[in-house]
Structure 1
Amino acid sequence: MLMEPSKDAELYPPPLDGISKVCFGTNSASYFILASSWAGSISVYDSVDGTLRIEFGKANENPPLLDCAWIDERQVVAGNSLGQVLLYSMQSTLPTEGQLIGQHTAGVRCVAYSETIESVITASWDSSIQVWDIRDNLSTSKSSASLTGKAFALSLHQNTCIVGTSKRKLEFWDLRKMDKAWNIQESPIRQQIRSIACSPDANRFAIGSTEGRVAIQPFPSLESNGLETSSHASFSFKCHRQSAGAPDGADLVFPVNVICFHPVYGTFATGGGDGVVNIWDGDSKKRICQLRSFPCSISSLSFSSDGSQLAIASSYTFEEGERDHPPDALYVHSVADNEVLPRHFRTE
């Protein structure tokens, strides 16, 4: 189902360079949206009135920020291309450059916060994963371990962290015991991993690739050391492709830059280099809807904690190389039930 064009709310002003991540807050910060950018700044927007509330760092004067995450309503964390892990305080009276709490030897590609162990998790292009203890203003590394390759994607669920690496490996880590990954699998998709997301019920996870394909995999069992999985079947499907009009009928294929599960219904959205957002029902293996086309690549997506809104970053991700492109933009889409309800919830 192709949705009619909607008047999505646009957040203003957008970051000055490529938007690397957008994410809704939780709890008392649930209506705030955090955005990191290649301009080296991190911005916090109000999703209700669409305005910029605070901006950390001077745009285009700091190293690019590759990822960011909320810790709570008072603090956010980000990682940059120089391998620095930076903590920002929402309570600061003046915008700050961020407090250095950790250091990798190459860019920090993935940043997440675990409420279960109250620590920041980072994965880097230096082929390592680290856990940082930030309680009581400490900035010490709890643990550090090697990955099979450069970190390209990461997703958390409770005590489990999944990392996708440049070697096309999927590594499963127990955050309580970081001596080694408890399970390592080869990606079911032949091309490079671009995105990973765990379902809210942790029964499965989704992998997006650079070749316009998504794979849905059952979540392995920690108790059986990954030898047993949930009852959900594995499958993959093509998406984010356009007819190129070539004589051989070949499609123009775009990367799946981001996958985001709906927190209530477990359906999921994908954003691609074609500037399209699709929403899928994994149980019926069908697309529920396609939102309107956006001006540029979809670099990041985030559902609000109640699933009523979807933050969308439209920002060129250079899948077609250096070229002129529309300006970066941030939108908030009001989610209708018919856009996210799985088939078994529908009465018609």
Structure 2
Amino acid sequence: MSFLNNLAISTVSASAKPNSTVPASVPLTTLKDDVQVADPPTDSVSGLAFSPTADFIAVGSWDCAVRVYQVAPTGQTRGVAMYAHNAPVLSVAWSKDGSKLFSGGCDGAGRMLDIATGQSLQVAQHDAPVKCVKWVETPRGSILATGGWDKTLRYWDLRSPTPAAVVHLPERLYSMDVRYPLLVLGTADRHIQLYDLTNPTVVFSQKTSLLSMQTRVITLGNGLYAYGNVEGRVAMHWPSTTDPTASEAHRTRLPTEAPPAPGSIMWAVNDISFHPIYGTFTTCGSDGIIMTWDGENRKRLKTFESAGAPISATAFNHTGSVLAYAVSYDWHKGHMGNVPGMPNRIMLHSCKDDEVRPQPKIGGT
């Protein structure tokens, strides 16, 4: 990935339920030493993705641009590439070897940046915004998977301008993840579908979300998938079992004197990121808080201090030593919530082992 060092900037177009507070046993972790990425986007950050082979981070934004930053061992950053969609960018993803970067946007386009040449081109098209892009490595070759608000999942062979296959979904796609041989997606009306990528056009398993409100994010880990919704709840599901579990994560307890009765403020869960080594995961939300979770033991590990504004996206680097997070408006209150002075920055947190390492198994050592 050293060729990225000399990559020129390329521009293409230019009623709450009662809930308890965070337990005293869950320590707050200061973020004061985190490093801010230089020259962040000029509008809300919609997606973060680290290269799987080196410390380069891709950022998608509502300012219609995709940016790539190089992250030095000291945490200092510099921009090395940029290209644009014709509308806000909603998703970014890398190829497995880090040689290509993909993005999807509200212009209905899927685009690709070739890292070696610095050139970008359109490689996919939907009839509505492209909400998610994912690169899929299979024993028979590699394909790009895109999902959109046109209620379709599309697979693309990059050698062809037309999709290799189109799968019609029950509703608009809101989130999607891939970990071969599984693809999981969540749509409007709380549909969750799993696909076995050895037969990628046929639904392998279909469920209704365990959570009672709209799914916002769904992510695959080792042996499980986790998803969060607009009411601050997170569910974990093991595809091989029928024993899902849910936690009330991103909620704030109201004081007992609050009329008409005590309850909790519900904050949208914006992103879930699995640690590449330990298999634990983070959640972040409109409350400006990051939490780390041990899914196997179904236990919260850490709760970080509030960033003071929504956290819209997170991503671990390929070694799991750095967690990037975007302090940025997440549109959970619509256009009126994007008030003047809303921060818009990307931060890099150096992970401590006890923040992300799973605890000993219950009943074990």
The answer for unaligned runs of 5 or more in structure 2 is 1-26
Give, in whole Å, the separation in 2 of the partners of 1:215 and 1:62.
Answer: 35
* TM-score calculated relative to the size of structure 2: 0.85
Q: 2:47 maps to which residue?
A: 21
Question: Shift of the alpha carbon at 1:89?
Answer: 2.1
Question: Which amino acid is 1:307 matched to?
Answer: G
In the TM superposition, what is the alpha-carbon distance from 1:311 to its structure 2 partner?
Answer: 1.0
TM-score (norm 1): 0.88
| Residue 343 of structure 2: aligned partner | 327
Letter in 2 for 1:297: P
1:50 aligns to 2:67 (yes or no):
no
Compared with structure 1, are the counterparts of its residues 112 and 317 closer, same or farther at alpha carbon in structure 2 (3 Å cutoff)?
A: same
Deviates further, 144-153 or 311-320:
311-320
2:266 maps to a residue whose letter is V
Question: Residue 19 of structure 2 corresponds to which residue in structure 1?
Answer: none
Deviation at 1:345, TM superposition (A): 7.4
Deviates more, 1:263-272 or 1:312-321: 312-321
Decide which of 197, 207, 211 is 1:189's aligned counterpart: 211
Of the three residues 239, 242, 247, the one matched with 2:249 is: 239
The residue that corresponds to 2:22 in the other structure is none
Residue of structure 2 equivalent to 1:288: 301
Any conservation in 2 of the 1:21–1:35 contact (CA below 8 Å)? yes
Contact 1:47 1:332 survives alignment (8 Å): no
Separation in 1, partners of 2:201, 2:296: 35
Q: 1:300 aligns with which of 310, 313, 329?
A: 313
Which residue of structure 2 aligns with residue 130 of structure 1?
154
- For the pair 1:250 / 2:274, whether they are aligned, the reply is no
- Per-residue deviation at 1:128? 0.3
Taking only aligned residues, the RMSD between alpha carbons, in angstroms, comes to 2.0
Asked whether 1:338 is paired with 2:354, we answer yes
Task: In structure 2, give the amino acid aligned to 1:338.
Answer: D
2:59 is aligned with 1:39: no
Higher deviation after alignment, 281-290 or 300-309: 281-290
| Alignment partner, residue 133 of structure 2 | 111
User: What are the Cα deviations for residues 202-230 of structure 1, in whole angstroms up to 9, with x where unaligned?
Assistant: x21111011000011112xxxxxxxxx24
Establish whether residue 145 from structure 1 lines up as the match of residue 167 from structure 2: yes
Amino acid aligned to 2:189: K
Match of 1:101 among 109, 123, 142: 123
CA contact under 8 A between 1:9 and 1:50: conserved in structure 2? Answer: no
Gaps of 5+ in 1: 220-228
Match of 1:163 in 2: 185
Checking the alignment, whether the CA contact within 8 Å between 2:86 and 2:107 is kept in structure 1 is no
Taking the TM superposition and a 5 Å limit, the aligned residue runs for 1:63-78 are: 63-71=87-95, 72-78=97-103
8 Å CA contact 2:31–2:349 kept in 1: the answer is no
Q: Is residue 312 from structure 1 mapped to residue 322 from structure 2 by the alignment?
A: no
Corresponding residue number in structure 1 for 2:197: 175
Partner of 2:34: 8
2:111 to 61, 78, 86: 86
Asked if the contact 1:296/1:328 (under 8 Å) is kept, the reply is no
Deviation at 1:62, TM superposition (A): 2.6
Residues in 1 aligned to 2:312 and 2:200: alpha-carbon distance in whole angstroms: 30
Once structures 1 and 2 are overlaid, which stretch shifts more, 45-54 or 303-312?
Answer: 45-54
SS of the residue corresponding to residue 354 of structure 2 reads helix
Matched, 1:274 2:266: no
| 1:178-221 CA-partner distances (Å, limit 9, x unpaired) | 3321211111111000111111x2x21111011000011112xx
For the Cα contact (< 8 Å) 1:144–1:178, is it kept in 2? no
Paired residues of 2:297 and 2:361 also in contact (CA < 8 A) = no
Q: Percent identity among equivalent residues?
A: 29
Please tell me whether the aligned partners of residues 43 and 63 of structure 2 are also in contact (alpha carbons under 8 angstroms).
Answer: yes
Give the match's secondary structure for 1:338: helix
State the Cα distance separating 1:242 from its structure 2 match. Answer: 1.5
What is the CA distance between 1:109 and its match in structure 2? 0.5
